[in-house]
């Protein structure tokens, strides 16, 4: 017995609604970090923005699938992602030394440059806490490349089974390595199936009516076994609050899109614009809005804890600086890495630039 879900096929992998949802996701993350800075409760469960963004990343990969090999697929996707990430890593390495007086180690910068911070958990929050996401999404891109035959054939059931299996394997490995505490399981492992659910949704949108098998006995057994494993070994795999709040916020957005009012339409356009720069905003917002703001307020306050009133102007300035950094990266990117280089050329050139930054960090390392 199988269940097939039918929708109207929409090839191409682009939708204004996806950008709008990304805008909602990054706004939730911003609220979450600002609330933590100001000492407010996490009433919005803003970390759910990461869950929404992760699912949308999987959706976009499967929805825009091309007829190309796994290597070409991975190079093309990484060429769209890594140069912007490496630019942020280089900028934050310099600013941390200038603003915070903290010189990053060559080891931490190297781990982050290779997106290995999920494997080398001692470097998980090094340079800046916002960068941990890259240590998760880059390996998941590799998994998507390996699953291309299933994505091409619309085997959404197998894709989701693979996601559940990968989550269990990663949980077991983190437990054996003794690093499953408060970092990997609630932050990374629990979110792995969300990316694969996004891949399954992308299969459905790309192939459309009657072509995508959604529910099969193997998937049913996989869901049951995953639930039993979580209940017996680590209930956190099922109880993370952001798993529930991600769909809640996404459902709220979908209901809002049905409203005919002009203010709602303007908010949707703003969310779409915000979503288009959401990746850059995610990379830069935490240092500018939180860390640098808090550090400078402590200095201005002669070491005393800053008040909410003192932090608020820094939040506004930090958001403005983050937006400026996003727009600058968007403007300089096509000039520094022109399209004529191709994905491989852009990736190689930006990797070389990151290697030079790392050599500089090594040269300036104390001792």
Query: How would you write the pLDDT of the chain (367 residues) with one tens digit per residue?
Result: 455 555 555 555 566 778 888 998 999 999 999 998 998 877 778 888 898 899 999 999 998 888 888 999 999 999 999 999 999 999 999 999 999 988 999 999 999 999 999 888 889 999 998 999 999 999 999 999 999 999 998 888 899 999 999 999 999 988 887 755 567 888 899 999 999 999 998 888 887 755 556 677 888 889 889 989 998 988 888 876 666 676 777 777 767 766 667 777 788 888 889 999 999 999 999 999 999 999 999 998 888 888 889 899 999 999 999 999 999 999 999 999 998 999 999 999 999 999 999 998 888 766 4
Residue 316: inside a domain, yes or no? yes
Report residue 121 as tokens: 């958990």
Residues 233, 281: Cα–Cα separation, whole Å: 37
Q: Please indicate, yes or no, if residue 46 is contained in any of the structural domains.
A: yes
What is the rounded distance in angstroms from the CA atom of residue 212 to the CA atom of residue 201?
9
1 inside domain:
no
Whole-number pLDDT of residue 182: 66
> Is 308 inside a domain boundary?
yes
**Nearest to 230, CA basis, from 218, 241, 245, 240:** 240
Residue 16, pLDDT score: 76
> 263 in a domain, yes or no?
yes
Cα 191 from Cα 195, distance rounded (Å): 7
Residue numbers of the domain that contains 192? 10-364
Residue 164 lies in a domain: yes
Closest CA to 324 of 291, 266, 277: 277
In a domain, residue 317? The reply is yes
Identify whether 301 is part of a domain. yes
Total domains in the fold of the chain: 1
Phi, psi of 294 (to 5 degrees): -65, -45
Rounded Cα–Cα distance for residues 246 and 356 (Å)? 39
């Amino acid at each position: 017995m199988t269940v097939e879900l039918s929708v109207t096929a929409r090839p191409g992998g682009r939708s204004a609604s996806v950008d709008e949802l990304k805008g909602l996701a990054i706004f939730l993350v911003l609220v979450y970090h600002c609330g933590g800075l100001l000492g407010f409760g996490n009433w919005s469960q803003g970390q759910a923005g990461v869950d929404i963004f992760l699912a949308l990343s999987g959706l976009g990969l499967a929805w825009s699938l091309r007829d190309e090999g796994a290597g070409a697929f991975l190079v093309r996707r990484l060429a769209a992602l890594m140069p912007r990430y490496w630019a942020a890593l280089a900028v934050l390495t310099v600013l941390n030394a200038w603003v915070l007086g903290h010189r990053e180690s060559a080891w931490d910068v190297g781990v982050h440059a290779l997106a290995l911070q999920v494997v080398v958990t001692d470097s998980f929050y090094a340079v800046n806490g916002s960068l941990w996401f890259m240590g998760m999404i880059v390996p998941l891109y590799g998994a998507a490349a390996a699953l291309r035959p299933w994505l091409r054939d619309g085997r959404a059931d197998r894709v989701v089974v693979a996601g559940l299996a990968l989550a269990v394997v990663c949980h077991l490995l983190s437990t054996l390595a003794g690093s499953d505490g408060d970092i990997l399981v609630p932050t990374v492992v629990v979110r792995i199936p969300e990316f694969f659910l996004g891949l399954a949704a992308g299969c459905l949108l790309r192939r459309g009516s009657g072509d995508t098998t959604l529910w099969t006995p193997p998937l049913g057994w996989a869901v049951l076994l995953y639930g039993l494993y979580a209940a017996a070994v680590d209930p956190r795999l099922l109880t993370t609050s952001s798993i529930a709040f991600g769909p809640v916020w996404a459902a709220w957005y979908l209901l809002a899109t049905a409203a005919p009012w002009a203010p709602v339409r303007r908010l949707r356009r703003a969310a779409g614009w915000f979503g288009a720069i959401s990746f850059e905003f995610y990379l830069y917002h935490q240092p500018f809005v939180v860390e640098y703001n808090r550090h400078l307020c402590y200095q201005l306050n002669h070491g005393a804890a800053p008040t909410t009133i003192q932090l608020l102007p820094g939040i506004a300035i930090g958001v403005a600086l983050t937006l400026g950094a996003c727009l600058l990266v968007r403007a300089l990117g096509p000039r520094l890495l022109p399209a004529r280089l191709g994905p491989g050329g852009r990736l190689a050139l930006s990797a070389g630039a990151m290697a030079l930054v790392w050599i500089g960090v090594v040269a300036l390392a104390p001792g």
